[in-house]
Amino acid sequence: MSPRLRPVLTATALSALLVTAAFSADAPATSALPEAETPSVVLVRVVTATKGPVTSDVVLTGDIQAQAQTNVAFRTNGKVAERRVEVGDHVTADQVLAVLEPLTQRANLDNARAALVSAGAQLTQAKVTFERQKQLISGGYTTRPSYDNAEQQLRTSQAAVDSAKAALGTAEEQLSYTELRAGVSGIVLNRTFEVGQVVQAGQAVMVLAQDGPRDAVFNVYEALTANPPGDKTIHVTLQSDPTAAVTGHVREISPTVDAASGTVRVKVGLESTPPAMTLGAVVIGRGRFASREAVVLPWSALYRSDNRPAVWVYDSAAGTVSIRSVEIDRYGFDDIVLKDGVRPGETVVIAGIQFLRPGQHVALAGQDAAPEPTKSAAGEGGR
């Protein structure tokens, strides 16, 4: 080391030793002082729990359906020759929807017509014979048995004509059954046949939604039907256009639960159907449960303890707080409805809960009953 730098290093080392000695001298004096115990008082805001009327809304999503749906079927057997409508078409009551090949029906109709002509000819001959016998018997030129036979033949021929007319009517009706008509006006929802397919009488080939009243149909959980809203009035709005709104009433609740979804089907009859609410349109229904009494607190009072909802309860006699678990009935937009845990008349902390511990002394905001707080949380909320 250079002789010139030695004095400088010596002076620096000396200074470091003096600083260390000064700190060492102060340490025992500081540790010997007693630890000051200053009370930690938190400023909080409270509210007195009271029971009040509580109403809750239920919001459902469903779709528009016709109150009446008709399964359309042919009334006779045959092979489909023509289909004249498609799914989504609006049809009238007498409109022909499809046609069967009418070969058999036309042959039956021709046979019935021929039988009627034959029966008519026999009836004409029987009438002539009877009139002749009637004239002869009046002059004594024929016997009574001949007259009776002519009369009997006339009656038999008349019955044959009546039977032929009935058969002709049946054949004509069977021919008309080859044309499929719904009998009501509506919209085709579904079809299950094609041209060339052989169908049986009574086999449903189309589903038709009848014109007229409409339902808003919702699938709800069983628990909702066990405790339904007190008023059966439901406000229905179109999801794509909230301005399209209408009032409805619960018309039908299914007595069974759907095995696949675990829901119950509820049908709400609409008082009127806006044009925008077409079949299958998605709608939102809102209903209101009957009013009941419950304790309602602001969201800021909610706390979590042991992974359970809780609140801080203020003891006015001791000036301390304690934590208490609660059971939530419903979460609102800016409040919570309690099912259990807080009794009416108890005082609940609604601001400053993030600084609290069980048994801690607190001061109430707006009162002069506490020393200067070490932490202030008035007007703040915690969860």
DSSP state for residue 361 in the 8-state scheme: B
User: Comparing 36-50, 58-72, 362-376, which segment has the lowest mean pLDDT?
Assistant: 362-376
The string of pLDDT tens digits covering residues 157-196 is 999 999 999 999 999 999 999 999 999 999 999 999 999 9
> What residue spans of 140-200 are helical by DSSP H?
144-176
Kindly report, residue by residue over 85-122, the tens digit of the pLDDT. 999 999 999 999 999 999 999 999 999 999 999 999 99
The confidence score (pLDDT) of residue 122 equals: 94
pLDDT confidence tier of residue 34, bands split at 50, 70 and 90: very low
Contacts for 246 with CB less than 8 Å, ≥ 6 apart = 236, 270, 271, 272, 273, 274, 277
Q: According to the per-residue pLDDT averaged within each range, which of 5-14, 155-164, 368-377 is highest?
A: 155-164
Q: What is the pLDDT of residue 223?
A: 73
Q: How many CB atoms lie within 10 A of CB 253?
A: 13
| 58: confidence class by pLDDT, cuts 50, 70, 90 | confident
DSSP per-residue codes, 37-99: -----EEEEEEE--EEEE--EEEEEEEEEES-EEEEE-SS-EEEEEE---TT-EE-TT-EEEE
Helices (H), 177-280: 222-226
Q: How confident is the model at residue 11 (pLDDT cuts 50, 70, 90)?
A: very low
Average pLDDT for 273-295 = 86
- Lowest mean pLDDT of 6-15, 122-131, 324-333, name the range: 6-15
pLDDT of residue 199: 94
In this predicted structure, what is the pLDDT of residue 54?
A: 77
Dist CA 240 CA 274 (whole Å): 13
Residue 135 has pLDDT above 60, yes or no: yes
Instruction: Return the percentage of the chain with pLDDT > 70, whole number.
Output: 83
- Res. 26 pLDDT band, cuts 50 70 90: very low
Tokens found for residue 181: 């008509």
Residues 61 and 67: their CA atoms lie apart, in Å, by 18
* Cα→Cα distances 11→46, 151, 288, Å: 65, 163, 88
Q: Which of 99-103, 150-154, 336-340 comes out lowest in average pLDDT?
A: 336-340
Asked if the model's pLDDT at residue 236 lies above 70, the reply is: yes
Question: 34 or 135, which is more confident?
Answer: 135
Provide mean pLDDT across the span 346-372: 78
> What span, in angstroms and rounded, lies between the C-alpha atoms of 108 and 173?
11
Residues 264, 221 contacting (CB under 8 angstroms) = yes
Are 169 and 108 a contacting pair, CB within 8 Å? Answer: no
Contact 347, 47 (CB under 8 A): yes
Residues in the chain: 383
Q: Is residue 218 predicted with pLDDT exceeding 50?
A: yes
Cβ atoms of 82 and 99 closer than 8 Å: yes
* 346-365 exposure pattern, b = at least 16 Cβ within 10 A, e = fewer: bbbbbbbbebbeeebebbbb
pLDDT of residue 14 exceeding 80, the answer is: no
**Are residues 242 and 277 in contact, defined by beta-carbon separation less than 8 angstroms?**
no
What is the distance between the alpha carbons of residues 328 and 301, in angstroms, rounded to a whole number?
12
Q: Return the pLDDT at 59.
A: 86
